Amino acid sequence: MSKKSHNPREGTVHIIGAGLAGLASAVRLAQAGYRPTLYESADHAGGRCRSLFETTLDRLIDNGNHLLLSGNRATMDYLHAIGAQGELSVAPRAVYPFVDIRDGKRWSVRPNRGRVPWWIFSQSRRVPGSRPWDYFAALGLAWARPDKTVADCFDTSRPVYERFWEPLAVAVLNAGAHEGAARLLWPVIRLTFGKGEAACRPCFTRQGLSGTFVDPALAWLSGQEAKINFQTRIRSLQTGADNNGNAVTELDFSSGAIPVTDKDYVILAVPPEAASSLLPELSVPSESRTIVNVHFRLSQPPPTDTGDTSDIGETRLTGIIGGHAQWLFLRGDVASVTVSAADKLAQESAETIAQCIWPEIARVLDMDADRPLPPYRVIKEKRATFAQTPDQLAFRARTRTSCNNLFLAGDWTDTGLPATIEGAIESGFAAAAAIMENNGERT
Ligand SMILES: Cc1cc2nc3c(=O)[nH]c(=O)nc-3n(C[C@H](O)[C@H](O)[C@H](O)COP(=O)(O)OP(=O)(O)OC[C@H]3O[C@@H](n4cnc5c(N)ncnc54)[C@H](O)[C@@H]3O)c2cc1C
């Protein structure tokens, strides 16, 4: 890749899309002294990771519960850079309580401190009915061929499959274990469980996703004189040949066209469908999966669980087996439920979904399931992530493109990580690093 001869900081880095990938690239570039300008089609930043005030509940809620783990290094770097590390509560220890709502059985998975995973030899720390070997089986993910699914790597008749590996795969990949790519689950296990208890503590936002990941980033960026243009949708990119090969020469926005000079760079940090409509020759994952979240406002906060839970601040996390609901996040009087890989469920009306989920949550919280349905809000994110199946992985795009001044970011690009906050932030950092590398700078 040829380098530009001028001072790179004289130009502008145009970043299209102000989700976490776009924000992370802007932050990294601004830290290095570049001048980023963001363009976002919506009237707010954050994309698929944001908070909203829900009037029916009279509460601030997130578009979807987001589970983060303390081993998410890029995420922690990002929060540190924008001065928002204090907005994230890291649980004092990794404890994952589960309930099987079919028989009411409860247990907790409790990895031990230190890197040697002796917890798998302790019946009180592992899944009931499991054996130590059930956990070593995860190593099969590391060597899985690209066409293998998570289910291909485990003995699906073992209780630990239904009680641990399957819910973990669905949460991480937003795909059933029978279709989710084994190759994508492995890096998460390696970077969290593989690094010991300290890397797999659950983390919760103190004031919602926007208050943690978005608002502090916008405030920090504006302090660096980065610009952000909302309600500015890109319609097309013009390309042409320059001295270094093919390059983007003009950006056509809903608000007008902007020339791209040879001092400038462009980062496209939009979802795959938007990227492919702008660059038809680009191969992108074409399938997506839905996540449904149901937020219930309870008449009062349930009594604090004094048992072995991962309580921290106002959030309690419980894994649910044997129903539609998969994870319950309890924050004060708001019980928020995640259903991943929920394409079928999302076809139902909001009322039907709430009526289906509520009895399950009442059971988890030891409440009377016949109580009338509390106020609720159902959020269906139809394109929550790309379909993280072996077939679709092959279409993840690289950071660099055939245009020497155009770079890609987004959770769907080829980060080697699943489509998560960590993956999105990592992709933004990678795009920023590629620009700096282009200029011969160390990253
Ligand atoms: C319900 C739900 C639950 C999730 N749960 C988890 C979880 O538990 N843990 C986890 O780590 N991750 C989770 N994720 C995934 C995580 O939210 C995403 O991976 C991450 O937010 C993606 O960020 P991004 O910047 O790549 O894309 P996006 O957030 O989609 O950002 C792209 C931005 O581009 C803008 N844009 C689109 N087209 C244009 C255009 N033409 N011009 C200008 N701008 C445009 C969009 O408006 C958007 O703001 C979840 C996602 C959802 C939806």
Displacement of CA 400 from its chain's centroid (Å): 22
CA 291 to ligand 1: nearest atom = 1
Three-state SS for 154-217 is CCCCCHHHHHHHHHHHHHHHCCCCCCCEHHHHHHHHHHCHHHCHHHCCEEEECCHHHHHHHHHH
Distance 363 CA to ligand 1 centre (A): 32
Separation CA 266–CA 330 (nearest Å): 41
Question: Nearest-CA neighbor of 330 among 342, 345, 314, 353?
Answer: 314
Does position 1 have pLDDT exceeding 50, yes or no?
no
Does position 311 have pLDDT exceeding 70, yes or no?
no
For the chain, what is the mean pLDDT?
94
pLDDT at 312: 54
Tens-digit pLDDT profile for residues 327-338: 999 999 999 999
Distance 20 CA to ligand 1 centre (A): 7
Q: Pairing mode, if any, of strands 68-69 and 234-242? A: unpaired
- The pLDDT confidence band at residue 9, using thresholds 50, 70 and 90, is confident
Which residue's CA is the closest to the ligand 1 atom numbered 26?
410
Measured from CB, residues less than 6 Å from any atom of ligand 1 are 16-22, 39-42, 47-49, 63-64, 66-68, 233-234, 269-271, 274, 291, 293, 381, 384-385, 410-411, 419-424
Does position 181 have pLDDT exceeding 90, yes or no?
yes
Instruction: Look at 28 and 301; give whichever has higher pLDDT.
Output: 28
Does position 441 have pLDDT exceeding 90, yes or no?
no
Does position 309 have pLDDT exceeding 60, yes or no?
no
Q: Which two tokens stand for residue 316?
A: 């309690």
Taking a C-beta distance cutoff of 8 angstroms, is the pair 331, 317 a contact? no
Residue type, 312: I
Question: What average pLDDT does the segment 2-28 reach?
Answer: 85
Distance 417 CA to ligand 1 centre (A): 15
Taking a C-beta distance cutoff of 8 angstroms, is the pair 328, 315 a contact? no
Distance 383 CA to ligand 1 centre (A): 9
Tens-digit pLDDT profile for residues 202-219: 999 999 999 999 999 999
Query: 272 CB contacts (<8 Å, ≥6 apart)?
Result: 284, 285, 286, 386, 410, 412
Quick one: what percent of the chain has pLDDT higher than 90? 88
Separation CA 263–CA 13 (nearest Å): 9
What is the reported pTM?
0.96
Q: Which of 23-32, 95-104, 305-314 has the lowest mean pLDDT?
A: 305-314
Query: In 3-state terms, what secondary structure has residue 227?
Result: strand
Domains and CATH numbers, the chain: 8-43+230-286+389-438 (3.50.50.60), 51-92+202-209+288-386 (3.90.660.10), 132-196 (no CATH)
Separation CA 19–CA 288 (nearest Å): 17
Tens-digit pLDDT profile for residues 245-302: 899 999 999 999 999 999 999 999 999 999 999 999 999 999 999 999 999 999 988 8
Residue with tokens 């469920």: 345
Distance 267 CA to ligand 1 centre (A): 15
pLDDT at 228: 97
Tens-digit pLDDT profile for residues 355-386: 999 999 999 999 987 888 999 999 999 999 99
Distance 49 CA to ligand 1 centre (A): 6
pLDDT at 2: 46
To test the ligand 1 pocket, which listed residue (49, 70, 267, 412) has its Cβ within 8 A of the most ligand atoms? 49
Tens-digit pLDDT profile for residues 123-178: 999 999 999 999 999 999 999 999 999 999 999 999 999 999 999 999 999 999 99
